[in-house]
Amino acid sequence: MANEGDRFNLSRKVFVGNISYRVSQKRLETFFSKFGEVEYCYVVKDHIKKWSKGIAFVTFASKEDVQKALAATEDDLNLYGRTMRVKPAEESKRVSYVEGWQQKTDLDTIESLESKDSENTDELKMVDDTTNGLSTIKVDDSSTVNINSLCDDTLILILSHLPVLDRLNAEKVCQRWRDVALRCWTYQKSLHFRNMFKRFEGLRDKLLSSLLHRCGVYLKELDLSASPRLLTDIAVDVIAENCPALQKLDLSGVAVTDISLRNLGVKCTNLKWIALQKSFYVGDKGLSWFLQNCVNLEYLDVQGNAKIQGDLFHKCGPNLKTVILNECNKLKDFGVSKLCYRCKNLEEIQLSDCLSITDKCIRNLTQECKELRIFHLARIVPHVTADGLVNLGKLTKMEELNLSGNTSVNDEVLSAVVNGCLNLNKLDISGCHRHVTDNGVRQLVKCSDLTNLNISYLYKVTDETIELLSSNGKLQQFTARACSNISDKGVKALCMFCCDLELLDVSGCFDVTRYALHNVIQSRSDTRKYIMLCLGGTSIEEEDLDNFNYEYIKINVHDLSMQHLKGDRDLILPAADDYDDEEEDHDGDADILESFTGTAAGAEFYDEWNMYDDDFNDDFLENDDPLERDRWEMS
C-alpha cells in the first residue's frame, strides 16, 4: 500500500488561495509553469453556480518544483492585482478512509440502511471535499466512508430520500450521479409540490415538463394544487403526453381549458380520481369530453365552478361514486337528474351553496340514488325548503349528513332523518337555529350509531337534551359552540356516559365553569383516554387551569365560536336603538348636536355658532391650514 503522503500525490501538490475570480484554470496553470512543469491544475468551483471559490490545487512533476513555488516572493505570486498564498497541500481532516470497503450489490446493505434510517439512529451527512472533489457519508458515530464507494443500489436509496429539486441538482455532480439519479425516478409513483417553493416562487410549465419527462411514465398520483398559480393549460398537455398510467390527479387552481381537458381525457384513460376546484375556464363541454373517455372515473371534484349547469353528466360513466359540486351557482335540477339517472351507485354528493337547485333536485336524488352514504347541503340554498329536505329520510344507507347553516332545516326534517337514516353516525346541524328547537334535537337519541355531532349556535338546546344524547354512550366528537343554555350539567353527563369521547368543544358557552373541567379530569383519570377540550369563551380562565392536574387532557383556550353566527346575539346584547338619550346626561352634547344640520359632501355646512361671527370671511375655507387664517387676519 502506498504511504500516506503519496496517496493523492500530496508531496508534489500545493494549495493556492486568494485567487482572483477572473482567473481560469488554464491561465493559472500557465502562471505556475514558471516554477516547473505542471501536471494538473484544479480550480475549485461552486457546484450550482459554477463560480470559482478563489482556491485551487496545483500538482507539479517533481518535489523540487514544489519547493520553488513555496519559496516564491509576493511579487512572484501577484496575478490580476492579487497576491496569492501558496502552502503545502494537506489531506482533509473531514475525510477518513476505511480500508477494505467493498461494494456490495446484494440487498443486505440496502436493508440495513433502511432499518437504520427508520430508527433515526444514524446521521446521513454529505460533505464536499475540495481536495479531491469527492463526498463522504457518515454511516455511524465511529467512522465515515466515501459515498462514491457505495454501490448503485445503495446510492439510489439515498437519493430517493431527497426532495425533488435536490434530486435534480444531484444530476449535475458527475456522470455516475446523473445515471443513478435518473434511475431513481423509476421508483417514483407519487409526486406533489407541497412546502417546496418559497415566497413568490412556484411551479412553472418548464420545470413540470422536465420532471414528467423523467418519471411521468411511472406516476400513479400527481398533485399540483400546492403551486398552481404560475401554471398554464400547457401543463395539462404535458401531463397528457407523459403520464399515461396516471390514476389520481389534482389540478385545483390550474388554468385548465376545455381543449386541454379533452386532450387529457384522450391520453389518460386510466384516471379514477380528479379534482378541478376553482377551474374557472372549464365548462360543461370540456367536462363532457373528458368524462366520455374516462369511463373508469370514480371521484370528480369541480367545486367553485361558476360555469357548470349539468349538461356534462349525460356522458359520465356508471362507476362514478363521489361528486363534489359545492359553490356551483349555475347548477340546475336537470343536471343533477342526469347524474342520478346515469350513476345509480352514487355514494357521496355535495351540493353546498348551490343557489339554483330546488326541492325537485332533492326528490330525484332520494328516489334514484339509494346507495347514497354522504350528503352535504350546507349554508345558502335559497330554493330548497323543508318539504324537500324531508325526503332525506328515504336514504336508508345515509352515514354522514351536513346541513350546517341551512335555514330550511326544522324539527320535522330532523324527525324524518332520524326515523329513516338508521345508520347515521355523523351529523352537522350547526347554525340551524332559526327553526330547530330543543324538541327536534332530542329526537337524535334514536340514532344509536351517532358518533360525531355538531350542534353549534343552537341556543335553544338545553342540558336536559345533552343528557339524553349522551345516554347512547357512543359519541366520540361533540361540538356545541356558543350554545348559551349548556352548562356544567350537560358537560358532566357527556363525561359520565361517553367514555370514548375524543373531542369536546364548548367554546363560547359562558355557563361552563371550572366545575365542568373538574368532571372531565375525573372521568379521564378513570378511563385513561385522551380528550381534546376547547374552553375558549367560557367562564374558565387561564389561571384556573394551573390549579388542575390534567394528564390525559389537551386544552385549547382559544374561543373558536364566531360572533356573527350566534343566533341569540340580539337577545344578549341590546341594539343600538335601545339607548335612551334623554336618560343620560351628556353635559349638553345633545343640544349641541341639534345645532348642526349637515348636507351632502361638498355642500355648505351650516353652524349656528358661526352665524354671528363678524370675523368670518368667505375668502377663508374651514378645511385650510389654521395658520393661514392667522396670517390672513394679521395682514
Higher pLDDT, residue 632 or 35: 35
- According to the model, what pLDDT value does residue 130 have? 35
Q: Does the structure show a pLDDT above 70 at 105?
A: no
Neighbours of 71 (CB within 10 A): 10
Quote the CA–CA distance of 430 and 622 in Å, as a whole number.
54
Choose between 287 and 114: higher pLDDT.
Answer: 287
Average the pLDDT over 18-43 and give the result. Answer: 91
Q: How much is the average pLDDT of 7-12?
A: 80
When mean pLDDT is compared across 9-13, 83-87, 142-146, the lowest value belongs to: 142-146
Q: What is the pLDDT of residues 536-592, one digit of tens each?
A: 999 988 777 877 777 788 889 899 999 888 887 765 444 445 444 444 444 444 443
Task: Give the percent of the chain with pLDDT over 70.
Answer: 80
| Assigned C-alpha cell, 200 | 413568490
Give the pLDDT of residue 460: 92
The predicted model gives 499-520 an average pLDDT of 91
pLDDT mean over 103-119: 39
CB 559 within 8 A of CB 534: no
Collapsing DSSP states into helix, strand and coil, what is residue 274? Answer: strand
631 DSSP assignment:
H
- What's residue 146's pLDDT? 74
Higher model confidence: residue 632 or residue 59? 59
**Angle (CA) 502 507 513, round 5°:** 95
Residue 624 has a pLDDT of 54
pLDDT tens for each residue of 165-205: 888 888 888 888 888 889 889 889 999 998 888 878 899 99
Chain segment 339-365, per-residue pLDDT in tens: 999 998 999 999 999 999 999 999 999
| Phi and psi at residue 444, to the nearest 5° | -70, -10
Residue 623: partners with Cβ closer than 8 Å, 6 or more residues away: none
> What's the pLDDT score for residue 633?
64
Q: What is the mean pLDDT of the chain?
A: 82
List the single range of 103-107, 138-142, 152-156, 581-585 with lowest mean pLDDT.
103-107
Instruction: Kindly give, in sequence order, each residue whose CB lies less than 8 Å from that of residue 313, ignoring residues fewer than 6 positions away.
Output: 291, 335, 336, 338, 339, 342, 343
Question: What are the domain boundaries of the chain?
Answer: 10-88, 111-186
* pLDDT > 90 fraction of the chain, expressed in percent and rounded: 56
Asked if CATH classification 3.30.70.330 holds for the domain at 10-88, the reply, yes or no, is yes
User: Stretch 604-608: mean pLDDT, rounded?
Assistant: 41
What are the backbone angles phi and psi of residue 618, rounded to the nearest 5°?
Answer: -65, -15
- pTM equals 0.68
- Kindly report, residue by residue over 292-328, the tens digit of the pLDDT: 999 999 999 999 998 999 999 988 888 999 999 999 9
Q: pLDDT at position 98, please? A: 40
In what helix (H) or strand (E) does residue 221 lie, and over which residues does it extend?
strand 221-223
Rounded average pLDDT over 435-453? 93
Q: What is the pLDDT of residue 631?
A: 62
8 A C-beta contact, residue 66 and residue 14: yes
Q: In the structure, what pLDDT confidence band is assigned to residue 157 with cuts at 50, 70 and 90?
A: confident
pLDDT interval class at 58 (50, 70, 90): very high
- Taking the mean position of all CA atoms in its chain, how far away is CA 628? 58
3-state secondary structure of 45: strand
